[in-house]
């Protein structure tokens, strides 16, 4: 720690990492101190020179003699003094949270400071001019929604009462809020000086927001690389207000985080990774897939820079879906128990579509293979954005002719394969904190089971139930789950079916061919399900009729099952 003088205040400045590395300056918000960044700073210090300081009136820093000296002009003087002391003439990568973000937007648009910044990352706070412009020109519903979330500001602007509240109830409410966000209080955050810091920091609002009401100037154009980290569950900011900043930021990368207001506490790995990737790219490194996807204003196809894993990709619906995702910009991992078939599909995507694809051999029913498969994919290519659990087998015949092995193999592939894919990749999506989508292929048989497909129908009904449960559980993490239920599709499935106690292969194969419903049409439904985050997707006429009748008249469906 070192002291930096700025006017009549002394700022406590803290540094970590090698001073020769690129400088990353982390600015905290209200009512925090530099300690709110502890976890992120520890993760960044291995490759960056990390600088933090307590803003005036917070933590170890002193406050100004005049309480109105919390205005942005004075705060910019503080930032300039810190840059003079620690940057050594080099440009700095600025990161701001909450009021630290407000300061960052101001610095990025202010002559004399913007020239000293290499990039800016904003977390949980728009600029003051953005807020004022949004309040004047934003959509009525958007403004009302943001006003409801900002009601506390009106309270902070009143005299005396906020000071009393911080002496009594508010610290307990803050601790409760932190626990709810998965960032429980720990040593250093909230700081032991919380009540004093909060009472001093009230003048951030009083000295700036009242002045902004009289300031009619619009936001300046920010000619810097700017990364906007949008916390999905921030109780204080709407997505509409965050989007307002895009209008004046031509070089913007916008990335979502499955977190609340204190994302740097709840998801330090995610936040540190995003900062590190962005800074490294600004310093000259190639952008990651996630960073390429986050670039706003760039023309792209629907699934450009999405990593897609497709099981059962060697034929049928899996093959058609892998090609469809690739045709719309996705990078596809083609997985199949038949490694040669997967390789042919991946090669075709590269040669015929000019896409990016890789082939992997895996038996989805084998948990050890699936564990290795998921680990290898994540290590080599990253966490998938979309996983299509499609692999499946069919055994046809009377239930009494199904052996235990028939049941076991059907359940292992059709159900356990989906469970493994959802569990392993779903957990990685949750840990990454940037959303994703799981698609599970079931069947018309999930809700209209024919009597000659007992094991198959049971497995597909379980896949649908699993998908319903997962959708409810993962919705809060920004992860969509869709279950796709095709009817009869003209694929090689009938020829690959095992028939027991009956032999209808000679009827089933030509009948499915005459159905003339290609797998490519199912693939189109799958891509649409991901794009629209649809829950249950019956595909083709018989599936739509069966799904409707299963909800309207289950008794009728039981009667139709006898005809199967």
Here the contacts of 335-339 (C-beta below 8 Å, separation 24 or greater) are 335/309, 335/310, 335/311, 335/359, 335/360, 335/361, 335/362, 335/364, 335/373, 335/391, 336/311, 336/312, 336/361, 336/362, 336/391, 337/361, 337/362, 337/363, 337/364, 337/391, 338/314
Distance CA 159, CA 156 (A): 8
Distances 526 to 116, 191, 306, 310 between C-alpha atoms, Å: 48, 49, 15, 12
Are 302 and 329 in contact by the 8 Å Cβ rule? The answer is yes
E strand intervals along 490-544: 498-499, 536-539
Catalytic-residue membership of 517: no
Token pair of 206 as six digits: 């009083």
For strand 331-336 and strand 117-123, is the pairing parallel, antiparallel, or unpaired? Answer: unpaired
Sort 145 into a burial class: Cβ within 10 Å, 0-12 / 13-18 / 19+. middle
Joined together, the tokens standing for residue 433 give: 């904190």
The active-site residue, picked from 30, 53, 70, 456, is 456
Q: Are 482 and 467 in contact (CB under 8 A)?
A: yes
Cβ count within 10 A of residue 98: 24
Q: Which of 369, 419, 196, 381 lies closest to 290 in space, CA to CA? A: 381
DSSP assignment, residue 210?
H
Which pair of structure tokens corresponds to residue 126?
Answer: 């728009």
Give the Cα separation of 415 and 294 in Å (integer): 34
Q: Phi and psi (nearest 5°) for 515?
A: -60, -30
| Burial of 174: CB neighbours in 10 Å, binned 0-12, 13-18, 19+ | middle
- Strands in 23-27's sheet, in edge-to-edge order, are 2-6, 9-16, 49-53, 23-27, 92-97, 117-123, 226-231, 252-257
Which residue from 70, 67, 27, 19 is spatially nearest to 45, judged by alpha carbons?
19
Q: How far apart are CA 58 and CA 194, in angstroms?
A: 8
Main-chain dihedrals φ then ψ at residue 307, nearest 5 degrees: -95, 120
DSSP 184: -
Bridge partners of 168?
none
Q: Which residues pair with 84 in a beta bridge?
A: none
How distant, in Å, are the alpha carbons of 447, 488, 522, 548, 556 from that of 538?
10, 11, 10, 10, 18
Nearest to 310 by CA among 346, 340, 344, 351: 346
Tell me which DSSP letter residue 443 carries.
-
Catalytically active residues, by annotation: 456
């Amino acid at each position: 720690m070192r002291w930096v003088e700025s006017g009549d205040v002394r700022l406590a400045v803290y540094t970590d990492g090698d001073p020769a590395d690129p400088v990353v300056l982390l600015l905290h918000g209200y009512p925090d101190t530099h300690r709110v960044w502890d976890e992120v700073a520890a993760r960044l210090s291995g490759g960056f020179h990390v600088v933090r300081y307590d803003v005036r009136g917070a933590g170890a820093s002193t406050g100004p003699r005049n309480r109105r000296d919390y205005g942005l002009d004075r705060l910019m003087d503080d930032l300039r003094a810190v840059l003079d002391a620690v940057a050594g003439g080099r440009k700095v990568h600025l990161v701001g949270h909450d009021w630290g973000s407000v300061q960052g937007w101001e610095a990025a648009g202010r002559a004399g400071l913007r020239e000293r910044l290499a990039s800016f990352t904003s977390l949980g706070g728009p600029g003051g001019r953005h807020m004022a412009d949004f309040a004047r020109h934003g959509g009525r519903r958007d403004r009302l929604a943001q006003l409801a979330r900002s009601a506390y500001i009106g309270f902070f602007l009143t005299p005396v009462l906020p000071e009393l509240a911080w002496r009594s109830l508010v610290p307990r409410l803050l601790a409760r809020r932190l626990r709810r966000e998965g960032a429980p209080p720990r040593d250093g955050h909230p700081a032991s000086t919380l009540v004093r810091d909060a009472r001093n920091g009230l003048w951030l609002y009083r000295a700036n927001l009242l002045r902004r009401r009289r300031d009619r100037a619009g936001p300046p154009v920010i000619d810097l690389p700017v990364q906007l980290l949008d916390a999905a569950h921030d109780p204080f900011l709407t997505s509409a207000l965050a989007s307002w900043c895009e209008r004046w930021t031509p070089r913007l990368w916008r990335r979502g985080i499955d977190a609340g207001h204190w994302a740097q506490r709840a998801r330090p790995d995610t936040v540190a990774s995003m900062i590190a990737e962005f800074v490294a790219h600004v310093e000259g490194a190639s952008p990651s897939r996630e960073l390429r996807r986050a670039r706003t204003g760039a023309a792209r196809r629907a699934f450009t820079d999405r990593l897609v894993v497709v099981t059962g990709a060697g034929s049928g619906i899996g093959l058609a879906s892998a090609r469809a995702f690739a045709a719309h910009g996705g990078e596809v991992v083609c997985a199949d128990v038949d490694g040669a078939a997967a390789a042919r599909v991946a090669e075709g995507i590269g040669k015929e579509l000019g896409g990016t694809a890789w082939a992997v051999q895996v038996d989805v029913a084998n948990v050890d293979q699936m564990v290795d498969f998921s680990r290898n994919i994540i290590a080599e290519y990253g966490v998938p954005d979309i996983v299509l659990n499609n692999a499946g087998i069919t055994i046809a015949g009377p239930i009494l002719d199904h052996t235990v092995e028939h049941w076991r193999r059907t359940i292992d592939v059709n159900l356990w394969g989906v469970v493994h894919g959802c569990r392993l990749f779903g957990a990685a999506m949750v840990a990454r904190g940037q959303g994703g989508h799981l698609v599970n292929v079931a069947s018309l048989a999930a809700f209209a089971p024919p009597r000659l497909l007992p094991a198959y129908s049971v497995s597909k009904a379980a896949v649908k139930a699993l998908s319903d449960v997962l959708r409810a559980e993962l919705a809060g993490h920004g992860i969509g789950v869709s279950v796709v239920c095709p009817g009869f599709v003209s694929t090689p499935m009938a020829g690959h079916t095992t028939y027991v106690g009956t032999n209808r292969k000679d009827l089933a194969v030509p009948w499915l061919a005459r159905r003339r419903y290609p797998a490519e049409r199912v693939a189109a439904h799958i891509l649409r399900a991901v794009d629209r985050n649809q829950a249950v997707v019956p595909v083709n006429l018989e599936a739509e009729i069966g799904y409707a009748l299963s909800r309207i008249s289950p008794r009728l469906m039981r009667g139709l099952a006898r005809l199967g």
